[in-house]
Amino acid sequence: MSLSQIIILGAGLGGTIAAYEIRDAVKGKADVMVVNDQEDYWFVPSNPWVAVRWREPDAIKVHLPPIMQKKGIGFTAVGAKRVHPQENRVELNDGTSLSYDYLVIATGPDLAFDEVEGLGPAGFTKSICRTDHAGHAADAFDKFCEDPKPIVVGAAQGASCYGPAYEFALILDTELKRRKIRDQVPMTYVTPEPYIGHLGLDGVGDTKSLLESELRNRHIKWVTNARITKVEEGMMHVEEVADDGTVKATHDLPFGYSMILPAFRGISAVHGVEGLTNPRGFILADKHQRNPNFKNVYSLGVCVAIPPIGPTPVPVGVPKTGFMIESMVTAIAANLKLELDGKEPIEEATWNAVCLADFGDGGVAFVAHPQIPPRNLNWSSSGKWVHFAKIGFERYFLHKVRRGTSEPFYEKLAMHALGIRKLRFK
């Protein structure tokens, strides 16, 4: 009797860990196959370091095929062209197709640079969303330092990932000081958030005061409720929007170097599949991470549709942080095991968030249980310890990926001791 087929679409932070954990959960009952568009895993949280040469790209890269083979997981880097959930089929870029009994979508986002004229690596701003983008940003930064000018860093309207933007602005401040040219570089932080430290989460603990203090102490000006209308070479045009939606002020911000995070949307392989996604192409999911229309399709990570926390003058998305994504992974693995045993899915991810934002000479950490308010725990702190904790986390997570391990027992033990769990009611 043939085994059930589980396809995992994507091999980023969530997809890679999902492959390991699902394989362990369903071993002997299902075969697991990973479909990705490249053979390498990149530790994206370290991209801000790559962009100032504190890391080389190869230091945060893991070659996946031999690890997947050792774990008994199928792997292809051909990439998906289109998902056909009515047919339980994934069409690949080479014209072939793979059939599945269960599909786990963990693709990450499509980067919507085109929604703002002049935005992105093909325009006039840099990106740290991908490691190759961060490598190009590093080359541009080296050139910039030969002729210092103003810097503009931040996020475009509709963005949903703010931590890396704050990180990069403050890492740039630290690196410019090390190069002894900070005094020649006026800096401005631009964000659609209604206030500094909102993070798409209406703040966590005292992030508003902590991040405002960091920007103020480092002489970084900011524009909130910001809508970028156009980017030209050396100039960013920004509208500052009032609470009633009217334009409060306009800002023409000159720059010699700029990094702006774009809004996200679903990738083309799923965008517009009726019943599977919302209008932005994000995957619809219930409390068990299962699509309400196609019951054998699960999703996790940045590709999951999560509504905004509340109305804001400028669109602000909700981030999906690392531990939150890992909690989705654990819920899906447990639910797939239940389904293969002929039972209904019951497990729910906690969506707890643990975040470390490094500034090079310090940082801010926060814990939110759950990530979406109201919360049972709402805590934030700052200090030099965050920088060293981020370094330790990078090494630890890359070690997990290289070993093909989802959650070693000591990680689970430590998190449980802190009251941080991946599954609700456990």
CA distance to 45, 116, 238, 246, per residue, from 250 (Å): 33, 16, 6, 11
> Cα 75 vs. chain centroid, distance in angstroms?
23
Active site (annotated) includes residue 355 = yes
Distance CA 401, CA 170 (A): 28
**Residue linked to tokens 């804001």:** 312
Three-state DSSP class for residue 86: helix
Residue 381 β-bridge partners? 365
* φ, ψ at 159 (rounded to 5°): -65, 155
DSSP per residue over 378-398, as a string?
EEEEESHHHHHHHHHHHHHHH
Interior CA angle at 389 toward 384 and 394, to 5°? 135
Q: For 423, which DSSP code? A: B
**Nearest-angstrom CA–CA distance, 115 and 153:** 18
Q: What's the rounded Cα separation, in Å, for the pair 204 and 371?
A: 9
The answer to whether 161 is a known catalytic residue is yes
Spell out the long-range contacts of 272-278 with Cβ–Cβ below 8 A and sequence spacing 24 or more.
Answer: 273/82, 273/83, 273/84, 273/85, 275/85, 276/83, 276/85, 277/305, 278/305
Check if the beta carbon of residue 151 is closer than 8 Å to that of residue 256.
yes
Q: How many CB atoms lie within 10 A of CB 147?
A: 9
Q: Which residue do the tokens 């299962």 mark?
A: 290
CA distance linking residue 167 with residue 174, whole number of Å: 11
Burial of residue 240 (CB within 10 Å: 0-12, 13-18, 19+) is middle
> Dihedral, CA atoms, 280, 199, 374, 321, nearest 10 degrees?
70
Catalytic one among 129, 145, 303, 355? 355
Catalytic residues: 161, 355
